[in-house]
Amino acid sequence: MGPTAATTLSHEKAFIFRQLFDRESCTYTYLIGDPESREAILIDPVFELAERDYKLAQDLDLNLKSYCR
C-alpha cells in the first residue's frame, strides 16, 4: 500500500498527509505537514524504516520537527 494523497477539510486550510504501511510489523505511520511552514511530524514511525520516512519528507520539501509514538 502506497502513500495516500493530500487531504483538504472543507472549512480549513489544506495540509499534507501521507499514510505509510509496514507489512512486517503491520504498523501504519503517518506523515502530517503544514504546506506553509513546511514543518512536519511523524506519527508512530517504525525504527527500521526511518530512511524511507526521511526520504519522503525530503521529497515533499518538509522539515521533520518531531515524531509521536
Task: Please state the separation of Cα 65 from the chain's center in Å.
Answer: 11
Identify the pLDDT of residue 6: 52
Residues of the chain with pLDDT under 70: 1-12, 67-69
Identify the pLDDT of residue 12: 63
Quote the domain boundaries for residue 53: 16-68
Q: Which three cell numbers stand for residue 32?
A: 502530517
Residue 1 lies in a domain: no
Residue 6 lies in a domain: no
Identify the pLDDT of residue 1: 46
Residue 9 lies in a domain: no
**Domains identified in the chain, total number:** 1
Please tell me the pTM assigned to this model: 0.76
Residue 38 lies in a domain: yes
Backbone torsion region of residue 26, taken as left when φ is above 0, otherwise alpha when ψ lies between -120 and 50, otherwise beta: left
Identify the pLDDT of residue 67: 63
Residue 20 lies in a domain: yes
Residue 10 lies in a domain: no
